[in-house]
Structure 1
Amino acid sequence: MKLAIMQPYFFPYIGYYQLIAAVDKFVLYDDVNFIKNGWINRNRLILAGEVRYITIPLSGASSFLKINEIDVQVGDGWRRKLAENLRHSYSKAPYFTEVNALFQEVLFSNENRIGEIAKESLTSVCKYLGIETEFVHSSTMYGNSSLGGKERVLDICARENAHEYHNLPGGRELYHEEEFVRRGVELHFIQPHMEPYSQFSEKFQPGLSIVDVLMFNSREAAKKMIEPSTAR
């Protein structure tokens, strides 16, 4: 079993999906504290010719609340605005029709919690690309929220009988190989690779939301771009 654990992000960059594609099961860490100005409710696209944030407005967001406790702003005004911004900026992209439909399906879903909307943005892209990784929620599976940091990660690995734990490069500061090996788990880090592709920008802008990747690349090409590169 190859396992990864991450907070749910809203249509994140390609490296996040490379992590998903590298594992058998992906744990959505939705019962940890919300991080303001992070990637849970926002990401970046090229809008009106410039790299700008697309942001889901939240209601009562606080770093004292868990991700799965936070609601999005009531009403559809912000949803319509995000949809119109995407249409205005990407309507001439080669794969706009199908990707816009995917984006709107997530945006106008019946979900009102940011954690669930972010999850939908992940699973919908995986379905679109044929990535079959299994998703589970930390809030409903393990009953170990009293643990913290690497101890909780290692506990989840043990409960899932995971023999490999995969993470993005930022995890190098948090996790050490020896601690995982002692528990019978190999620690791996995904090195994100962001190949240039045609955009509505004179200079290639790496690390934008996966939506930008999908707008300019076929499903087959995008899936190939997501094939992970693993480094120890």
Structure 2
Amino acid sequence: MRRVAIMQPYFMPYIGYFQLIAAVDLFIVYDNVKYTKKGWINRNRILCDGHEALISLPLKAGADSLHVHERQLAADFDARKLVRQITGAYRSAPGFEETLPLVERICGHADRNLFGFLHHSIVATCRHLGLCTEVAVSSAFAIDHGLKAQDKVLALCQAAGATTYVNAIGGTELYSPDAFRDRGIDLRFIKSRPFEYHQFGKDFVPWLSILDVMMFNPRDAVVAAIRGNFDLV
């Protein structure tokens, strides 16, 4: 049995992304997928003064047709400024001292290629949390990379020897169980359970970046939620 998941890279995504990683044997990150401006590839949400606030990676100008691995961080990207923004938001959080070195390591990564930067941030966070799932890159698989949507997922699953494909619950309308079954692959979806915690005593703001979860919870509690606070449906 070999469980596989395939996702776009995101900058410090929410806990469900890491639950998906923990639920599989192989996690494939798309590098040869089109960059989308309005998505979460180079931005996410943190808590600031009780409200959600955006953190983002500025990018060099580029054509809309470029893939993620063809985009670069802007020349004026200031890692120290991003660290200061996160520090200002969470300095008083109980997990700040434990999480800050990870933040500095991610923001200070030398690679200015967008995919390289994001790939490093995902792997570094997994290591910090003790997640040992193998992480691979989509372009490393010998498939027809001109395929789109479900067809590309199926090709990657077959190339990776998947017996089960696990996707985020939001993808239930995108995939046909019969199409996967015809190729001997079981299609499953991961559904995160609510995970509420204390955020400076104000109204809880859910589904922020994994940074928020780590800032307010002991590492063992974060790992327990990642490994078990979800359902496979």
Cα distance in structure 1, aligned partners of 2:143 and 2:182: 23
Name the structure 2 match of 1:225.
225
Name the structure 2 match of 1:52.
53
Give 1:74 shift: 1.1
Indicate yes or no: 2:161 matched with 1:166: no
Cα distance in structure 2, aligned partners of 1:9 and 1:202: 27
Unaligned runs of 5+ in 2: none
Cα distance in structure 1, aligned partners of 2:203 and 2:62: 35
Cα distance in structure 2, aligned partners of 1:192 and 1:62: 35
Q: Is the 8 A contact 2:141 2:159 kept in 1?
A: no
Indicate yes or no: 2:77 matched with 1:100: no
Greater than 4 Å deviation, 4+ residue runs: none
Q: Is the 8 A contact 2:31 2:68 kept in 1?
A: yes
Query: How large is the Cα RMSD of the aligned pairs?
Result: 1.4
Cα distance in structure 2, aligned partners of 1:91 and 1:149: 41
Number of paired residues?
231
Name the structure 2 match of 1:70.
71
Cα distance in structure 2, aligned partners of 1:145 and 1:157: 13
Name the structure 1 match of 2:5.
4
Residue pairs, 1:1-232, within 5 angstroms = 1-77=2-78, 79-200=79-200, 202-228=202-228, 229-232=230-233
Cα distance in structure 2, aligned partners of 1:210 and 1:7: 16
Give 1:71 shift: 0.2
Question: Structure 2 length as normaliser, TM-score?
Answer: 0.95
Unaligned runs of 5+ in 1: none
SS in 1 for 2:126: helix
Cα distance in structure 2, aligned partners of 1:189 and 1:155: 18
Give 1:20 shift: 0.5
Per-residue CA distance 1:100-125 (angstroms, 9 max, x = gap): 11011011111101212222221111
Which residue identity is paired with 2:177?
E
Give 1:75 shift: 3.7
SS in 1 for 2:221: helix
Which residue identity is paired with 1:222?
V
Give 1:201 shift: 5.5
SS in 2 for 1:59: coil
Cα distance in structure 1, aligned partners of 2:158 and 2:140: 16
SS in 2 for 1:72: coil
Cα distance in structure 2, aligned partners of 1:76 and 1:144: 35
Give 1:143 shift: 4.2
Per-residue CA distance 1:47-79 (angstroms, 9 max, x = gap): 2442110011000244310001100011453x2
